[in-house]
Every structure is written in C-alpha cells, then in structure tokens.
A and B are shown apart, each in its own frame.
Chain A
Amino acid sequence: KKSFLDRTPQDKVTLESFFKSESDLRLATGALYGTPWFDFNDKSILVLGDAMAGNLSRTNFVSYSTFAVNSSDARINEAWRSLYKIIAYCNLNIIYITQNTDPSVSAIAKNNAIGELRFLRGTSYFYLVQYFGEVPIITDNRTLAEQPQVNKHLVKDVYRFIIEDLKFASQNLRTVIDKGRVNKWSAEGMLAKIYLTRSGLKDNGTGTGTGQRDVALLDSAKKYAGDVCNNSGLKLLPSYADLFKIENNNNEESLFALQFIASPNSYGLGNSTQGYYAAEGKLTNAGDGYGAANTPSIDIYNKYDVKDLRRKATFMQNGDFYPELLKKDGGYRVTDERPHVKKYVVGTNEDNPGQVYSLSTSSAAYMLRLADVYLIYVEAILGNSPTTSDADALKYYNLVRARAGLDLKTLPVSKADVLVDRQLELAIEGQYWFDLLREHDINPAQTISKIGAQNRGRLTFNSATNVRVNEDQFSTPTDASFKLPYPLADLTTNPLLSQPAVPYYK
C-alpha cells in the first residue's frame, strides 16, 4: 500500500517502470549518440585530432601544434569528462538493461541494445587510451560514491576490455542498417581499427619500436575490416563533398556518427563545429563563424594533388565557388587570401531550413565511415611490409582514390601512399593524430622526424596575383608528446592517477 511518504517522481520515469519493451530500450540507447558527446565534439576532437596532428596551421591552438599542452588545458578536460560521461551512461544502462528488462523483450533485442552500449563504451575507452594511455577502467559508476579514487589500468588491459566490448557488439548487433545507430558492420570496422592500433603495442603499453606489428593482431584487423569491405554490401557515397551535407546525414557510408539536432535555444543539442570553423560570420549568419584563425597547414596543402576533389570539400580557398552556401546570393565565392575549413561548414539556416543556429547545426559528425575502414583494411593487409601486391588492397585503396577524383594506383600499393591518403581523406574528422600515434608506436624516431619536417605554417594567396606565399613553421615532438597529460582537475582530486597503473584482469 502506498503511504503518505511515498512520493515517486511524477515528471520522470523510474527504473522500475522502464525497460518494459524493446522501444524502451531504444529510447535509452538512442539518447547516447548525441548530446552526451557534445563537450568532446564541441572543440576537443578537432583540436586534438587535427591541430595537434598538424593538419591546421599553428596560428591557433598553439600549445597543441607546438606540443606544449599542460594538464590545466580546457580541451583535455572536455575530452576526458565527455568520454567518461558516455562511459557512465553506458555502464549503468548495461547494468539496468541486464537486470531490469521485462522478460517479454526478446534476447536478441536486449543484446542488440547492450551491443550498442558496449560499442559506445568500448569506443570511448579507445579514444581515451589513445590520447592518454593508461586510464582507469570503470564499469559501475555507483561504486565511485564509496571509493572515488581509483587506479589507472595497464594499457594492455584497457585494450583487452575494449576488444571484449567491441567483440560483444559485433556478435550481437544486427546487420541491418538502423539509421543513425551502430550495427554489426560498425562494430567490426571499429574492431579492425582497434586491432590495428593494438598490434603496434607491446604488452607494457609502449610501442614495439621495431617497425613491426604483432602478426596475429594484424590478422584480426584484416579479418574484421575485410568482412566489412567484402560482405557488408555497403558502398561509398559517390561524391566526397556530399558526405558533409546535412541531407546526407547517416548515409550508407556512415558506420558511426554522432547525432545532433540544431536548436536555436538549447545549448548542447547541436553540432557546434561549423560555428567554430566557418571563416566568417556571413557564412553561417547565425552570430558565429569564429574560424578566421583556423587555416590549413602548409604540410597538408602540399599533399593535395590538383585533381584531388577532397581539397575543395575540406578547405576553401580564394576563388572557390560553393553553390550550396549562401544560396540566396546565388552561392558563395571565396575571396580570402587564406584558405579556411570547409568540411562541416554547411551555410545558413536559409540554406538548410531549421538546421542551422548559433553554434548548432544538424550535421552528424563522423566517427567511423566506410572509407576509413577500407584504408584500415589496406593498412592491415600491408601489415609489416612497406608494399603489397594484394588485389583487395589495391581494389579498396583505389575505390577511395577514385572517389577523390585521383588517378588510380597500380600494384604494388605502398604504405606511405596509403598514409597520405588517410590524412587527406579524414582531415578535419579528428583522426590524423591517431595515424601518427600508430606510426610512432612502431617507428618512433622516424615519426618524430616526419612530424618535425611537417610545415605547420600557414599559407597565403596574394589577392591580386594569386601567388602563394608560405610562412614556414616547424615543431618537433618528443616521445612524451604522444601521451596527453591527465586533466589537472582529476590529478588534483585523485593522486592515484600519478601512481603506476595496476592490472585490471587479475
């Protein structure tokens, strides 16, 4: 019987009355593709993934492009807390769905939901371990109330945990496309990337340093990437530039993307990337467009072939014309002596009705797409050789190149070429830093000198003559630069982060 003192919430649903149907499970998992990721997507992902990696010039984010990031940096704090927030939501939902789902819900549906959560959790840990190395593995956030201070865990255990999550996901997620959500192919693609990264690490968490990767792990990477390439039936979107238009959110090529919804008033629901990267206010007409200082590095610019369609889709330069931007003016003609970011710049609310507000667009943000998996597959086939004559490698590499408008390569496929294409294909998607990291694991000295040789300066096209002028700038990282410092806030509250990592698996 209900007593005078029983006052359960009337504007929330309690756990006891939730998870009664598959639709309830979907409501809980669907909420974790968007706004909980906001703080990560807001600034951190591109600053860490592109500015630090040298895709952007040193004009902005100087402490990143000069490898002088300290623990009080806000971007580190945002990445850390946002990824751990995803983990918290996933952890608790995994526990509750496991324990509280009504028996009428099918095991397939229940495992699919847990698969989604374990995909999101494993992926978050994958980002964390790449940025920070040893991190605490937390699986039940309720225990932190009792013991807030936790040890960080060994890198090999973090990877083992991640792989277990993604394996569960790949075995339990459905194969059918469920727009905006992850499926079996998403999990296999991510798993391939994880195996490829793990293959360059020793069990003590440092890179092999020998130029060699673990063959068994490489085979796993190859197996999962190959399954996606050969058996998923998925295809690349024909036009590279179309990938970043709002109308193509969650197209066939998208394996995992953050889901945003433009909102004029609710902070944190939308994708803020356009607001920070659009070169001028006119482009967005939303009171944002803070991107004047964000220009491409000379390094990446030098790598674009003149035929490469990806350049114009990634960076806008003087003279470029974009019919999809500022449609009411008949399109946008760039008149700016410096190139700026185009990717994720979608224009005004008039160009995209209801989809653009200040620091808020509806662009889904790619975390994993098919082209990335193609190139992972090629990299896994290459394995420990500088070149390969594998037909699959050539096929998938050329699928990516063909779409970019480039000449097709012939056998053998070289790893050096593939890495350049990865940089260009995935620029301004927060991924290049991880490629450098993966290379540094196996070839530290070579990677440091490669980065040291990257021209991180900016370039200018003379407005009258269109002659290009470079302002050269170089920065050389050290081995220590390949791990970011833990955020000061948590170093302060948890001295154990400064202590050696402990095993997670006993």
Chain B
Amino acid sequence: QAVQKTVRGKVTSSDNIKDAIPGVSISLKGKKTQLAITDGTGNFVVKVATGDVLVFSYIGAEAKEVTVGSQDVINVSLVTSINKLDEVVVVGYGTALRKDLTGSVSSIRADDIAKSAATTFDQALQGRVAGVVINTNSGQPGGGISVQIRGVSTLGGNQEPLYVVDGVFYGGDVNGAIYTGGSPGTNPLATISPSDIESIDILKDASATAIYGSQASNGVVIVTTKKGKSGPPKVSIDASYGIQQLPKYLPVMELPEYAAFRNVRDVLNGAVPNPLFADPSVLGPGTNWQKAIFGTAPVENYNLSVNGGDGRTTYILNAGYLSQDGIAVKSDFKRYNVRLNVETKATTWLKLSANISGNRINENINNQDGNLVQLAIRQSPDIAVVNPDGSYGGPSSPLFTLTNPFALTEINTNTRTRSEVYGSAFADITFLKDFVLRNEIAVNYNFGQIEQFEPAYQFGQFPKTNSFGRRGTTAYNNNTFRTYLTYNHTFASKYKLNGTLGHESRLNTSSFVDATATGYFQTTNSELNLGDPAKATSTSGKSQQAIDSYYGRFNFTYNDKYTLTSTVRYDGSSKFSPDNRWNFTYAVALAYRLKQENFLKSVDFISDLKLRVGYGLVNNQNIADYVYGTSYRTTQTALGLGVLLDNVPNPDAKWETTKSSNVGIDASFFKDRLQFTVDAYYKNTDNLLNSLSLPLYSGTTPQDQFTVAKLNAPTKNIGSIVNKGIEFSVNATNIKTKNFSWTTNITLSRNLNKVTSLITENTNLPQYLGTDIVQQVAVGRSIGEFYGYIADGVFKDGADLTNSANQGTIGVNGVWVGDIKFRDINGDKVIDSKDLTYLGSPLPKFQYGFTNTFKYKAFDLTVFFNGNYGNKIFNQLKRTNEDLQSGFGLLQSVNDYARIGLKDPSGSATDINNVYITNPNTTVPRISTSTLNGNNRVSSRYIENGSYLRLKNLVLGYSVPFKIVQKVKLGYLRVYGNVTNLFTITDYTGYDPEVGSRFQNAQSAGVDNGRYPSSRTYTFGIYAGF
C-alpha cells in the first residue's frame, strides 16, 4: 500500500562532495512533469508515495533513479564527470558544448586541480593532458616553467602558449617574463591561485586556436575562474600544510676521499701536498655543502571562498594565502590573493559581469639557480660552514677559491615583490532575439619591486671588497578592449547556427627603473643613499606593443550529426614594419557524430562516436620590439657618454605561420565507462622567426644571450619546422559498485619534431654554453640536438694511443695514456672539428601520465605517475665537477680516475711503451698537470639518458560522512594526505631528470647547469564547507 509522504534530501556531486547541485530536476519515472527542483544548496522537498521511482536528472550528469521506500530523507549523489558530451567548453570569445566541438580541446576541471594539491596551476596540468608538455625550469618556489603544446613549433625566445585568464591575456607578450632583473625568470602564472580555477581549457589545433590568430601558434590555455551560483551563501575552506625536502643529494667527495685525491694529484704534479691532508684517515667527513644549503621547508596554503546569489545576481569571493619556503635556505614565496566575480542580469536585455583579482607576491630569491646551488656542489669539503668562533668559514687563500654559499644566503638580500590587479568586465546586450553584443575590457596591471643587497665581507681569506645594493621597480600594463556580436539560432530544431564577429585591440606598456649603489660604509641598512654617491648608477626603460584584430567565427550544426566551424582573423602587430604588419589567420573544421547514424544508434556498447577533421593557419609575432628598424642605445665610456648600435635590423621580418591539420576520434563505450580520444596532427611552421645565432664573425649575439657590448643579431624568418604527432587519452571506469570504484586515466603523447629548412641548406644555428657549442639546430634534425665528440673511454696503453687517430702531440704533458679517446668519425686519423657529430635530442620520444583513482566508501586514493621516454640530458654539472684539474670539491665518481701503472716498475713513467691503465674501463681521465687533450670538451661523456618514471602524486583522502559533518554544522568535510614526487625511476645522475630549458627556449633545452632541484612534498589538508 502506497503511503503519501514528504521526502527531503540533498543532491551532491559524486566527484566533489563540496558541490551540492542546484537545479536538479526531480520527476517521476515515466512522466514528464517535474515534481521539484533542487535549491541553491542542492536541497529538495517532494511529496511522493512509497514505491514511486524518482528520477534525478541534470545536464552534464547521469540521471539517477531512486525508489521511495520507508525513508524520509533521500540523499543522492550524481555522477557528474563521466558524461562529457554536455560539458561546456570555453573556446575563446564564447563557449561550446563538447559534443559540438570540431577542434582538439582538452579540459581540466576544478576537482582535478584539487586532487593535485598544486601551488600553481601549471603543476596541476603536468602529465594530465595529452600533447601538453610541462617542464619545471627551476624547483624554486614559484620558479619558471615551460609549457609546450604539441611540440616546438617556433625557434624564437618564446615558445609558450598564450594564456587567457577570464579574457585577460595573461602576462603579456613574453608571457609575463616581466622584468625582474634576475635569473631565472619567475613564473608569472604563479599569481593565480589554483583554488580559484573552475576550468582550464587547452586549445591544441588550428581550428580551435585560430580565433586567437596572432599569438596562437603555440596553442592557447584558457583559464576560467569560479563563478557564484544562486542560492544562500555557501562557504568553503581549503587548508593544507606540507613539508618539502630534497629527494636526492649529489654524491660529492667526503673530506678523506678529497684529501687522498688531492695528495695523489699534488705528488703527480710535483706540488707540495697540503700538510693538513697528510693522513686522510684521521679526517672527519668534512662539509657537505648541499646539506648546508638544503633543508626541510614548510608549505602552507589556505583558501576561503563564499559564493551565492539570487535569480538575478550571483557572486563569489575568494581569498587565499600561500606561504612556501624553498628547500634551499633563504628562498621563499608568499602569495596573497583576493578575487571577486559578480554577474548580474540587470534587465532582460542586459547582463553585466566583473571579475576582479588582486594579488601580491613576495619572493625571496636569494638562493637561486645557477648560483648557490652550483656553488654548494663545487665548494671543497675542507672548509667549515661556520667556524667554532661563530664566524663564517672560508678558504685559506683569497684567490682561485670559492666563497661560502651558506654565508651568502645569510648576509645577502634578494627579494622581488609583485602587486597585481587584473580582471575583466563586460556588458552583454541582447538587443534583438538571438543577438548578443558583448563589450568587454580586460586589464592587467602589474607592479614589481626589486631589493638586492650584497654587503662587503671576508670569509676566511675570501674577500668581497665591494658592497652592492640595488633597487628597482617594474610596471606592466595590458589593456584589451573587445567588442563582439554573437548570433545563435536553431532553425526547424535541426539546423543550429552560431556566429561571432568582433574587433579587439590590445596595448601593452612596460617600464622599469633600476638603480644601484656600492661603497656602503656599513652592512646593516641597504638603501642606496647609504652607498657612495659617486658610484651610484641609475637607468630606466620603456617599451610598448600593440595588436589590432578583426575576427569572425561561423558554426553550423545539422541534426546533432554534422558540425562545421570556420574561423577567420585579421591581425596587425606593432612588431612588424608597416609593409608586413597585417596578416590573416583562418581555419575550417568538421565534426561528424557517427553515433547519430541509424546503424550505430542501436549498437548499445558504443555510447558515442565522433570524428573530427580540421585544417588551419595560425601566426606568431613573438619577437623583440622594433627589430625591423635600427636603434642605438647609450653606454658608459672613458670618453664620456657613448652611443652604441643596438641591433642589426631586418625590415623584412614578417609573421611566422603555422599550418596544421588534425584528425581526431572521440569514442565512448559501455555507457561512457570507457572513453577514448585520439588525435593525430601535422603542423608545418614556415617563416620561423628567430634572433639568429650566427657565426662569431658576424659580431652579433642572439637577443636572449648575454655578452659584453652586445650587438643584437638580426631577427629573421629563417626556415621551417614540422611537428607531427599522435595523442591518446583514455578514461576508464574499471570497477564501479556501490562501495568501490576504480577509474583509470591515461595520457600518452608522441611528437616528432624536425627542422625542414633553414636559410641555406648548410646553415646550423649553434647554441653556446660559454664559448662551447653544445647544441645545434640543423635541417633534418629535431631542434637543439646535442653536438660534440663521441668519447670512447680512455687510452688504455701506448699501443691504444699510437694506433688511434691523432689527438695532438703525444707526451706526458700532451696527449697521454689515460686521456679521453675521441672517436674518429670521418676516419681521417685526425681528431678535429670534422669529427663532431650529433649526440642525441633533448626532446622526449614520448611522454605519458597515468592516474588511478580508487574509492572505497568514504576513502579515495589517487596515484598519479608521469614520465618521459627517450630524451637526452647534457649534464653540465658533471662536466664542471668531474674535472680533475678543478681546485674545488669533486663528485665521488672522480675516485675512479684513470690510474697509470708501469709494466716494468723500474722503467720510465714517460716511456709510452711502459705505461698502461689499471682500470681501463673508467670514463674519468688521468690526473695531470696539464693535458692538451681537452678531456672536458663537449662530448658524449656528459650525455645521459633522461627517461624517467615518477610517482608525481599520491593522494589519500577521506570524506567524513554527512551524519558526522552535520553535527559540526558543516556541509561537507574531506581530509587528505598527499605526497608529491615520492620517487623517480631514472638513470640520470643529476638531481632531477626534469631539466627544462635555460632560457625557456627549446634550442637550449636539456642542459643541466645546476638548476634548483624539485622537492618532495608531504602535504596534509582539509576541504570543508557549509
């Protein structure tokens, strides 16, 4: 007997219990009439009878049926993430339903981000999106990253995608490599709190990116922040606390080993051994400088969010605080951010919206890349960090010695402060049915401050006689105005038409002031007025870039089966001379949903099947300003002011163009339990724009490299690159029962990069490390392949030496047994520049990520692995610290130096027939006073396999049951523990195989020059809300 009664309940999302779902429609099975709809907090009340079957349905979620029994409360959890067809995807100047997409777009949602416990959003992306490669260029908190979408398709300094955050072009022309006067570049995207992000949509192929035409050739990343939902205020809190540590110390010599080595070397070199090293066995382990400068460091992250609204107006207010200390002492990063997003339907025809965010970042980069980390590996173990009397330790001689890296972190100051306001506001006017006119302004104002102080000091005998202070300010303004008209109409319920037509203009202005002082008379205060006014310097600079654009997009869908998208954009850029200023972008793409065909409609196991094809052309203008013209800059000279030519001009520089084709299949099976996407693409970039790396006799230096009295090389369209590749992503729900579920997500990308032409056939573009070429860009090869000699171990004996190709004069002070043997590639019996060859590519053959998520009742466990396969790393740290002539600390591997034995112990050590190597398989050369062999020239000796597999994230969470949570007046509560970088399986001997690139430039990728290593982090956190 059916009993009429009132049932209450709450509908939440199965993936993110934070999210109660408002607007869920509740009806009786088999009837169209809606009984009720959930309110802003997901609650509902219905009058039903027992035995009725309630259907909970919601766009973007699987409908759920519940039979009414004796209970009065029905809490329902809807699975929201599985069916992606109705997911709304942000496509640039508009949105689209995923089922209508014709281009290749990958998306990441708030709950994916929450899972990764990331401090910057790029960390949340890493390894999770097929075709997107993210490398951390520095493990420093907030340190630089490089993001590549579908390979490297440009040679210029900037290969990063375009970021669009709520319509704001983020960071500007060089992705906010906002001048901070320091190296490495800090991460401009670090100002965005991952907790604020609702979704990240990554546009990968030309048909998706063409709407952004002018800067889209590296792909586009669109970040959308969270918006309020109507209903009473909802509060959510995220908090986490973590501990970070260095996963690995490089094995350097301990003091007894070091002393023994130095004794041997001094005897061989005829020098007087250090009397303190007379008996190495009595020496303690000495100083491990890495342990002095690396330690355990906390990271804290708090976010508070309130959102709500009524039928007309919604709002969300977020506030966050992040404090992360670096694992290297005296490096830290603090972020404060507040964001307010408000949207109101002012009238039936007018919608207004504003998103405003204010951020402040304080960074202490005292202990930064290429600086103290390298020093800590190099400094000798016989020097104390701190002497017994409390003073800082230092070497016993002022010359040919190194300073105390730990002491420098203590006495120096190097901070950066950034204050940023950015946001957008728009008015949507529906002036006619189906027509919406949007007027939008998007701005980004960023102000930076630099404070640096290095007092004079003396550590031991090591002096620094000149104090140095610096103050700098930077200002960056980006203003974008856009107006676009959207038309949306469905004819005869079959023909869906969508068109967009618009104009956009954008102006960036950046400026800086930089001042320095020296000759401070004290060490406490560092303001410049305390230095010597006669030696103070000041300078300032200013630059502007402008882009003006017209664009249109046309979308047509027939019967949910065919969708055609075509896009055109016309851009003008201030980077080019008036003759080459304007350029077209276009794309066309077609999607075909086979599932809508009758022959598939009845095939149950296929839930959806869609084929996408697209073709388009996009452009790139990311080069330095005014390279088409000739300019002069001032310089100090002994003859007074001087004016130095700044660049070699190229008035003919024009837009770089990338033509790309994409074919993709989206398929899902077994009621979407298995989802599969595969995309294959071919990208051909022509007119590559680059500041040329010319031979030295050109007298010029590329824009991104330092030299004294630099004459900037011409920027030129120099050739073509092809990238072709294939990307897979798979989402599978392997097991799904009431209490247990297991889902797997796999991404796999393979990209082949090949330079197909350069100015002339034989042109190679070298990449220097000091005066040595380590990499080259050459036709027929991928970008930045390593280039040098092949090292074939050491000369084992006299016969080996005399029978091998000539490497120079044979002799104890020339080339000798125990020196590195280089391979005679051309077989002319002489080792010279003709024997240089390619030594491998820093680009991985493929990259992968796989995530397994297990849920058991209230527990969830996420295990995320990622990795690279098939790339090489040039280990410059090894080259520096395995150099037997070095007067400093050395790697332990040096212990295996080539030991020279005498066949006849009473014979001569200078007789080539009497010497041999007792450890002939070593790769480390002999100890010598002076070898003319160039043992540490660029060679395969320093090339290592960069493949790795890393347990990037391990998260264990527990969602406290609602019954308990309710008692403390909370809506939900989740606690979790997370370990990042738990372990890495790799053959690479440096700190971290994820090396990134020195100048955020693929031409210099894969050289490990002592970057700040990434940390292992243990985090504990909660999510709560009501």
Q: Which residues of A contact B (CB under 8 A)?
A: 3-16, 18, 24, 27-28, 30-36, 38-39, 62-63, 66, 68, 70-72, 74, 77-78, 80-81, 84-89, 92-93, 96, 135-136, 138, 141-142, 144-150, 179-181, 249, 259-261, 263-269, 280-281, 285-290, 292, 354, 357-358, 362, 364, 487-495, 498
Q: Which of B32-40, B610-618, B759-767 contacts A (4 or more CB under 8 A)?
A: B759-767
Cβ-based interface call for B70 (8 A): no
Instruction: Check if A33 sits within 8 Å of B574, measured CB to CB.
Output: no
Which residue on chain B has the smallest CB distance to residue A142?
A: B648
Report how far A63 CA is from B711 CA in the complex, Å: 31
18 contacts between A and B (CB under 8 A): A5-B548, A10-B544, A11-B542, A11-B633, A38-B708, A93-B645, A138-B697, A141-B698, A145-B692, A148-B698, A148-B760, A149-B762, A260-B638, A357-B465, A358-B465, A489-B766, A493-B694, A493-B776
Instruction: Check if B709 sits within 8 Å of A36, measured CB to CB.
Output: yes
Which residue on chain B has the smallest CB distance to residue A362?
A: B638
Instruction: Check if B399 sits within 8 Å of A292, measured CB to CB.
Output: yes
Residue among B400, B632, B764 with most chain A CB within 10 A:
B632
Instruction: Check if A264 sits within 8 Å of B535, measured CB to CB.
Output: yes
Task: Give A188 Cβ to nearest chain B Cβ, in Å.
Answer: 22
Beyond A71-B832, A89-B645, A489-B695, whether A264 also contacts B519 by CB under 8 A is yes
Chain A residues within an 8 Å CB radius of B773: 488-489, 492-493
Task: Give A353 Cβ to nearest chain B Cβ, in Å.
Answer: 9
Cβ-based interface call for B918 (8 A): no
Number of A-B contacts (CB under 8 A): 277
Cβ-based interface call for B298 (8 A): no
Which residue on chain B has the smallest CB distance to residue A180?
A: B639
Chain B residues within an 8 Å CB radius of A261: 636-638
Instruction: Check if A489 sits within 8 Å of B768, measured CB to CB.
Output: yes
Instruction: Check if B833 sits within 8 Å of A488, measured CB to CB.
Output: yes
List residues of B (448-485) whose CB comes within 8 Å of A's CBs. Answer: 463-466, 468
Cβ-based interface call for B264 (8 A): no
Beyond A68-B809, A89-B711, whether A265 also contacts B468 by CB under 8 A is yes
Beyond A6-B574, A89-B645, whether A14 also contacts B709 by CB under 8 A is no
Instruction: Check if B646 sits within 8 Å of A12, measured CB to CB.
Output: yes
Instruction: Check if B649 sits within 8 Å of A148, measured CB to CB.
Output: no
Beyond A78-B771, A87-B699, whether A148 also contacts B548 by CB under 8 A is no
Which residue on chain B has the smallest CB distance to residue A285?
A: B465
Beyond A30-B637, A149-B762, whether A13 also contacts B631 by CB under 8 A is yes
Which residue on chain B has the smallest CB distance to residue A259?
A: B638
Cβ-based interface call for B630 (8 A): yes
Cβ-based interface call for B870 (8 A): no
Which residue on chain A has the smallest CB distance to residue B710?
A: A85
Which residue on chain A has the smallest CB distance to residue B544?
A: A7
Report how far A10 CA is from B633 CA in the complex, Å: 11
Instruction: Check if A141 sits within 8 Å of B700, measured CB to CB.
Output: yes
Q: Which residues of B contact A (CB under 8 A)?
A: 398-400, 463-466, 468, 505, 507, 516, 518-519, 534-535, 537, 540-548, 572-574, 578, 581, 625-626, 629-633, 635-646, 648-650, 692, 694-700, 707-709, 711, 713-714, 716, 759-760, 762-764, 766, 768, 770-773, 776, 787, 808-809, 813-814, 832-834, 836, 930, 932, 934, 937
Report how far A80 CA is from B771 CA in the complex, Å: 11
Instruction: Check if B518 sits within 8 Å of A7, measured CB to CB.
Output: no
Report how far A179 CA is from B711 CA in the complex, Å: 26
Task: Give A140 Cβ to nearest chain B Cβ, in Å.
Answer: 10
Task: Give A257 Cβ to nearest chain B Cβ, in Å.
Answer: 10
Partner of A74, one of B518, B762, B771, B834: B771
Residue among B463, B516, B630, B641 with most chain A CB within 10 A:
B630
Chain B residues within an 8 Å CB radius of A38: 708-709
Chain B residues within an 8 Å CB radius of A148: 692, 694-695, 698, 759-760, 763
Report how far A36 CA is from B152 CA in the complex, Å: 34
Instruction: Check if B543 sits within 8 Å of A27, measured CB to CB.
Output: no
Beyond A148-B692, A148-B760, A287-B463, whether A31 also contacts B699 by CB under 8 A is no
Partner of B643, one of A13, A35, A92, A181: A13
Chain A residues within an 8 Å CB radius of B697: 80-81, 84, 135-136, 138, 150, 490, 494
Chain A residues within an 8 Å CB radius of B573: 5
Partner of B631, one of A14, A88, A138: A14
Which residue on chain A has the smallest CB distance to residue B461?
A: A281
Partner of A287, one of B398, B468, B518: B398
Instruction: Check if B545 sits within 8 Å of A72, measured CB to CB.
Output: no
Beyond A12-B632, A13-B643, A68-B814, whether A259 also contacts B399 by CB under 8 A is no
Chain B residues within an 8 Å CB radius of A78: 771
Report how far A13 CA is from B776 CA in the complex, Å: 34
Task: Give A502 Cβ to nearest chain B Cβ, in Å.
Answer: 15
Other than the known A5-B547, A30-B639, A148-B763, what 15 A-B pairs have Cβ atoms closer than 8 Å? Answer: A9-B626, A10-B544, A32-B642, A34-B637, A68-B808, A72-B937, A80-B697, A89-B711, A93-B645, A146-B759, A180-B638, A259-B638, A492-B787, A492-B836, A493-B766
Chain B residues within an 8 Å CB radius of A89: 644-645, 699, 711
Report how far A363 CA is from B437 CA in the complex, Å: 69
Instruction: Check if B711 sits within 8 Å of A259, measured CB to CB.
Output: no
Which residue on chain A has the smallest CB distance to residue B696?
A: A81
Report how far A266 CA is from B516 CA in the complex, Å: 10
Instruction: Check if B643 sits within 8 Å of A88, measured CB to CB.
Output: no
Beyond A7-B574, A89-B711, A259-B637, whether A81 also contacts B692 by CB under 8 A is no
Report how far A288 CA is from B770 CA in the complex, Å: 21
Chain A residues within an 8 Å CB radius of B711: 85, 88-89
